[in-house]
């Protein structure tokens, strides 16, 4: 697996770990750790959309926020455009934050209810001096038009908008910063199905128009299939497969990926599909199993899987961590 190439990759995540300590007793001593992200390595190419999928609680959001420095990793490095984000000087921090933005999952809780739309969109670019105070109103209007919002509604407050409109406000807030990289943290999961496609198409159009790079986090594979160029699969804090979209959906290699794809609903009541039913529950991130973390639920597990931990191996652009292909 190739680790880091700033000419090709905008984001390089190397051996990222995030452990949360478990405190117990009167003295609040550390009794263990929740291993939310456990030694994850991947790259995001400039201009692409990488879809990050997995079950709820597997560490997807933690990875996204660690890249943006909203969460401090326990170990590992994150490089943006070839520079280690943890090693940047304080003077470079503001510039980095402008170039890296996030669209939050909740369009209700992510907007300040005390600020109107004009202030929500215009506050950050004014602070970062991307626009002058005299130009701010025209700038806000231009951004609102880009995301499909009516400029005359810029004096309204978030509670006066629908869920889809609120998410457009969140997207406008991101777009106003002229970013290069955006973490989309399940941006359509809280929206009605009829609105999801509109927001996804908007994100795709903005990516083309403004040369954006996305990390698109989702648990919905049909959404990921629509917008992503490559797909990365996370299970219990570990990366188990990374592949181009076409290869992933036509020939998934890891048994966990095969189970996820088999669960995608088919809009045909007469269609037959071979479902892969996973038995048992997801192990605890406090005490993950030895060897392959998926061995306790894998229908193809071998003795070796319970004793050794597989690593991601590049098999012609299709990476997977599985002994079935050893």
Domain assignment present for 281? yes
Q: Give the per-residue pLDDT at 279.
A: 85
Domain assignment present for 174? no
* Strand ranges across the sheet with 213-218: 100-103, 181-185, 213-218, 49-53, 230-235, 238-244, 319-320, 313-314
Domain assignment present for 304? yes
How much is the average pLDDT of 195-224? 95
Mean pLDDT, the chain, integer: 92
Q: Give the per-residue pLDDT at 6.
A: 44
pLDDT top residue among 89 and 95? 95
pLDDT band, very low/low/confident/very high, at 4 (cuts 50, 70, 90): very low
Q: Give the per-residue pLDDT at 256.
A: 96
Domain assignment present for 42? no
CA angle 24–30–33, rounded 5-degree value: 105
* Residue recorded with tokens 């989309």: 184
pLDDT in tens, 237-264: 999 999 999 999 999 999 999 999 998 8
Domain assignment present for 149? no
pLDDT top residue among 97 and 63? 63
Share of the chain above pLDDT 90, in %: 78
Domain assignment present for 270? yes
pTM: 0.92
Domain assignment present for 164? no
Domain of residue 263: give its range.
255-326
Domain assignment present for 194? no
pLDDT in tens, 113-166: 999 999 999 999 999 999 999 999 999 999 999 999 999 999 999 999 999 999
> What total number of domains does the chain contain?
1
pLDDT over 90 (residue 5):
no
């Amino acid at each position: 697996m190739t680790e880091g190439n700033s000419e090709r990759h905008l984001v390089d995540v190397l051996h990222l770990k995030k452990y949360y300590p478990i405190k117990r007793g009167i003295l609040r001593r550390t009794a263990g750790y929740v291993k939310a992200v456990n030694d994850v390595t991947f790259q995001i190419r400039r201009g692409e959309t990488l879809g990050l999928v997995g079950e709820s609680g597997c560490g997807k959001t933690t990875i996204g926020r660690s890249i943006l420095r909203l969460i401090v990793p326990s170990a590992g490095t994150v490089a943006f455009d070839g520079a280690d984000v943890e090693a940047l000087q304080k003077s470079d921090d503001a510039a980095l934050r402008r170039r890296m933005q996030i669209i939050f999952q909740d369009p209700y809780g992510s907007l300040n209810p005390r600020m109107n739309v004009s202030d929500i969109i215009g506050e950050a670019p004014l602070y970062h001096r991307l626009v002058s105070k005299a130009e701010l109103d025209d700038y806000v209007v231009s951004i609102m038009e880009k995301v499909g919002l009516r400029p005359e509604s810029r004096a309204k407050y978030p509670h006066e908008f629908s869920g889809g409109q609120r998410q457009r406000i969140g997207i406008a807030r991101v777009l106003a910063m002229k970013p290069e990289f955006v973490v989309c943290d399940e941006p359509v999961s809280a929206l009605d199905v009829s609105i999801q496609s509109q927001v996804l198409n908007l994100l795709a159009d903005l990516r083309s128009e403004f040369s954006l790079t996305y990390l698109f986090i989702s648990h919905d594979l049909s959404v990921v299939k629509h917008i992503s160029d490559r797909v990365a699969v996370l299970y219990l804090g570990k990366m188990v497969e990374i592949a181009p979209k076409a290869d992933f959906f036509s020939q998934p290699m890891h048994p966990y990926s095969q189970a996820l794809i088999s669960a995608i609903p088919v809009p045909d009541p007469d269609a037959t599909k071979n479902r892969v039913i996973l038995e048992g529950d997801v192990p605890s991130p406090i005490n993950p199993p030895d060897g392959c973390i998926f061995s306790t639920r894998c229908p193809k597990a071998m003795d070796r899987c319970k004793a050794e931990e597989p690593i991601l191996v590049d098999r012609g652009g299709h990476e997977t961590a599985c002994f079935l292909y050893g």
